[in-house]
Amino acid sequence: MTLKHLFLLLAGLQGAGLAQAGGPLAVEGSGGNSPVHYSPASININFDIGPLGARTNAEADDLVLRAFALWNNVASSSLQLLQGNDLGTDVDVSNYTTFIPDTSTSHPANSDQLNPMVYDDDGTIIDDMFGQGASNNIAGFAASVYLLGDDKFQEGYAVINGKLSLLDSDIIGLVTHEMGHFIGLDHSQLDIDNTETDSGSPAVCTTQAVKDRYPIMYPFLCRVTNSLHADDIAALAALYPEPNNITLNFGQINGVLVDTNNNPVPGANIWLKNLATGTRYSIVSDYLLQNTGFFAVYLPPGDYSLHANSINPIFYGASSVGPYALSQTDVSFQNPVTAVSFQGSTPGSDEIINIAAGAARQVKFVIDGSGTVTPGGIVTPPASVPASTSSGAISLASVLALVSGLVLMRRRQVMVGCIS
């Protein structure tokens, strides 16, 4: 039988502006409601020239580029992660602060126009950043920084730990997930059992017989194959759309989640199921922090059912799913939504919502299952005017909010498949 390492993937240490499942990691901009992203969408990543543990530099580069290809090959997205000029040096504990912002300062170096991919050959960089012995558990992390009030990332970086004994497939999965955070994607819960736990039963990564039902942006690396889930693809297309392709291949469900008194319900997990393929997609209600309960999901054409439930209580803080799960007492966990299916005009059974390419359906989803569906227009997040750059400073809060990695390697292993 084959054992695969189990990772806990943490996004966003602290700070306001973290966003939703299946969508952007940070919401900022002049109005505070715009997903933060890179523009232009072709991003040069500058590789370390040193080795990665037992792997040569060329071997490490190959694994990273294979991870990049997963994001680059999404036809409905304009994103391209490119190998830029090498850093020109072997980055180690003696020089890493030249390339990686120090999160203990409110004014990290941010004008070198570099996006370093650092190979922490022996784990000493991670130990220096997070404390002695941290490299025994942290497999890697990534971050991007932005100006408060802006919706554009300035630059970012990633660090991969070469000290740990990881399979090639683990490194590809790790880099794929972390580069998802780097470009601005948050974790996604989908319809995965929200009682999965890392300290009991059912254990994380065990409730889905087919492990590829877990998206790459799930807070744990449960996925077996190095590939993107349809939910990852839809989230990427929403943040970095390729205009001609996305209108041909996606429609949209948008609307609001409200209680029976018509009050917005923020911080709930909204998920949809394609009735022909069984594929699921998800978002968190009020993900743009508008206090309306708004949600919007890009979907391939087809018939869908619509559902809501609560965020898994272990997905908070650094492993949060959505903007309302920064602590165990945050909004997502104060009055968790009881699992409910949208029945709308068909009480007693799930209403079937048809989605056509280039079109939208607008839903008022009440938490008792009632509500309405009407034709509507595709909704895009509000645009942001450029932020003031009078000081050129990047806030410490924004740095910490996007230190999206701290990939903790569990000391135990779980079986995710067996070869007989």
Say how far apart CA 398 and CA 406 lie, in whole Å.
16
Residue 408 contacts residue 8 (beta carbons within 8 Å)? yes
Mean pLDDT across the chain: 84
> Counting beta carbons within 10 angstroms of the beta carbon of residue 73, is it exposed (0 to 12), middle (13 to 18) or buried (19 or more)?
exposed
Q: Which residue has the tokens 């619509």?
A: 306
Residue 381 contacts by C-beta under 8 Å, 6 or more apart in sequence? 24, 33, 34, 35, 288
The pLDDT tens digits of the residues spanning 196-249 come to 998 999 999 999 999 999 999 999 989 999 999 999 999 999 999 998 888 899
Domain boundaries, the chain: 2-226+390-417, 242-376
Residue 353 has pLDDT above 80, yes or no: yes
* Rounded percentage of the chain residues whose pLDDT exceeds 70: 83
How many other CB atoms are found less than 10 A from the CB of residue 165? Answer: 9
Give pLDDT, residue 100.
Answer: 82
Give pLDDT, residue 107.
Answer: 40
Q: 242-376 belongs to which CATH class?
A: mainly beta
Strand bridging mode 27-28 / 408-417: unpaired
Give pLDDT, residue 77.
Answer: 96
How many other CB atoms are found less than 10 A from the CB of residue 376? Answer: 15
Question: Tokens in use for 218?
Answer: 């799930």
Q: Where are the beta strands (DSSP E) in 48-102?
A: 80-83
Residue 293 has pLDDT above 90, yes or no: yes
Residue 405 has pLDDT above 60, yes or no: no
Residue 172 has pLDDT above 60, yes or no: yes
Length of the chain as a residue count: 420
Give pLDDT, residue 383.
Answer: 57
Say how far apart CA 309 and CA 42 lie, in whole Å.
36
Residue 263 contacts by C-beta under 8 Å, 6 or more apart in sequence? none
Give pLDDT, residue 398.
Answer: 35
Residue 271 has pLDDT above 60, yes or no: yes
Residue 403 has pLDDT above 80, yes or no: no
Q: Which residue has the tokens 């029976």?
A: 260
The pLDDT tens digits of the residues spanning 125-166 come to 999 988 999 999 889 988 888 878 889 988 889 999 999 999
> Counting beta carbons within 10 angstroms of the beta carbon of residue 63, is it exposed (0 to 12), middle (13 to 18) or buried (19 or more)?
buried
Give pLDDT, residue 112.
Answer: 76
* Rounded percentage of the chain residues whose pLDDT exceeds 90: 69
The pLDDT tens digits of the residues spanning 27-58 come to 888 888 999 999 999 999 999 999 999 999 99
120: left (phi over 0), alpha (psi -120 to 50) or beta: beta
Run of H or E residues at 238 = helix 230-239
Q: How confident is the model at residue 101 (pLDDT cuts 50, 70, 90)?
A: low
Residue 147 contacts residue 394 (beta carbons within 8 Å)? yes
